[in-house]
Amino acid sequence: MSTFFDVAHYDGQKAVKRKVEVQVVGPQFYLLENERCTGPFAFADVAYVTKQGEADVYGLTGHDGWRLILSGPVPSDLKGLLPAPRRYGGWVDRLGIGKAVIAFALTSAAAVAVVLFSPQWLAPLIPDSVDDRLGDALVGDFGGRFCHTPAGDAALQKLVASLDDAPQDLRVEVANIDMLNAVALPGGNVILFDGLLKQARSPDEVAGVLAHEIGHVRERHVMQALLRQMGLAVVLGGVDGNKGAMVNNLLAMSYSRNAEAEADAHSMQALGSANILPVGTASFFDRLAQLDGSEGAVKDNIGITSYLSSHPLSASRKDAFEKSIVKGKNYKPALTPSEWTELKTMCAQDRKAKSGFGFDFN
């Protein structure tokens, strides 16, 4: 049995439009034009191409530009043999748009959740050797900016040993850079900037900050942050540049807040077991709070700023550190006055250490 339909046709060889009859013979068809007959073609090779105005356009696999153009409603006999029109794309058409939207939204949420939470589990699985090599590559000798004097090194070593049980896998250095900051980097690297030492009024204050950074190392925050950033970059890679970067930063930031709180907890514990009074660290954060003006925010109970800054509010950290003081405990200074002086002036004494961020070409 065979059926005939009138359609427009391009053979893909020439731009001549032909009016042809489709003669259906089982799973195949022929195209008849006056005396000419082409085919047979298999319906299995027919692919939906596009909608052109009101017409549905079909192509033939392996024949560039070959077209059947069916205007208006397709006869139902033929419709069953031709592939279904494509609207949104394969998966969406198969599911229907409503279900597809829900499925995509859930998948996206799951992907973001995996990227945000998995670094916590993945970071400890990264071998130490990788961590160390990354740290060496990043830090090296810091362009000769690390300060060393025998007495200063000894004081720093004593401080580190009092705050950590395994100081041998840490590498704590003082960098000759006038910034009020300290950083933890891969491979157990902790860098205290000279500006922080100059600003600190007691060794207890430095001990609190150092213990905080050691907390980052011990909790593997650095590797977590790296993994999370990389994951977010991949997951949000499909979003246009700026928007993606903004969402990425917001998500990464809210998580580094958690990390900061954990590092603070580690710091308080380390100070406690080293018998160092946390009040110094508290007052240091108090002074930082005055610098960044977050004190007012806490009084007014406006918590919004704390979501947008990567560090917990300095003022609330101060409270936490003050509350960790145990009454009647026998606290002692983190360093003797002479050790403290040696540490504080180490960069001033070390003439060989380069200073600042200057990219000197020598």
Partner 1 sequence: MNNEQLQTHSAFRFHGSWQEFARIAFPNLLLTIVTLGIYRFWATTREREYLWGKTDFIDERLEWTGRGMELFIGFIMVFLLIGLPFIVIQLVSQGLIFQGLPVLAGLLTFAMFLSLFYLTGLAYFRALRYRLSRTYWRGIRGGSDDPGFQYGLSYMWKTVLGWLPLFLMVPWAMISLWNDRWNAMSFGPHRFSANAQWTPLMKRYLLFYLVPFLIFVGAVIFGMSMAASGGTPDALGGTGMAVGGVLAIVAVLAFYIMLPLAALLFYSKYFRMAVGGLRLHTLEFEFRARAVDWVLFFLANMAIIICTLGIGYIFMPYRNWKFFVEHMEAYGEINIDELTQSQTVVEKHGEGLLDAFDVGAI
Q: Which residues bind partner 1 (CB under 8 A)?
A: 10-17, 49-53, 55, 57, 59, 64-67, 87-89, 92, 97, 100-101, 104-105, 107-108, 111-112, 137-144, 233, 235-241, 244, 354, 359, 361
Shortest spacing between CB 248 and partner 1, in angstroms: 11
Locate 315 and state its tokens: 């003022």
Shortest spacing between CB 97 and partner 1, in angstroms: 6
Task: Name, in order, each residue with C-beta under 8 angstroms of 17's C-beta and a sequence gap of 6 or more.
Answer: 8, 9, 10
> Closest CB to partner 1 among 67 and 216?
67
Distances (CA, A) of 230 to 111, 132, 200, 248, 322: 13, 19, 35, 10, 37
Shortest spacing between CB 94 and partner 1, in angstroms: 13
Q: Among 180, 159, 175, which residue's Cα sits nearest to residue 287?
A: 180
> Closest CB to partner 1 among 72 and 237?
237
Q: Are 294 and 315 in contact (CB under 8 A)?
A: yes
Residue 85 CA to residue 49 CA, distance in Å, equals: 8
The residue behind tokens 């900050």 is 209
Shortest spacing between CB 129 and partner 1, in angstroms: 17
> Closest CB to partner 1 among 12 and 337?
12
Residue 191 CA to residue 175 CA, distance in Å, equals: 7
> Closest CB to partner 1 among 17 and 323?
17
Shortest spacing between CB 211 and partner 1, in angstroms: 24
* Secondary structure (3-state) at 212: helix
Shortest spacing between CB 304 and partner 1, in angstroms: 23
DSSP of 217-237: HHTTHHHHHHHHHHHHHHHGG
Task: Name, in order, each residue with C-beta under 8 angstroms of 1's C-beta and a sequence gap of 6 or more.
Answer: none
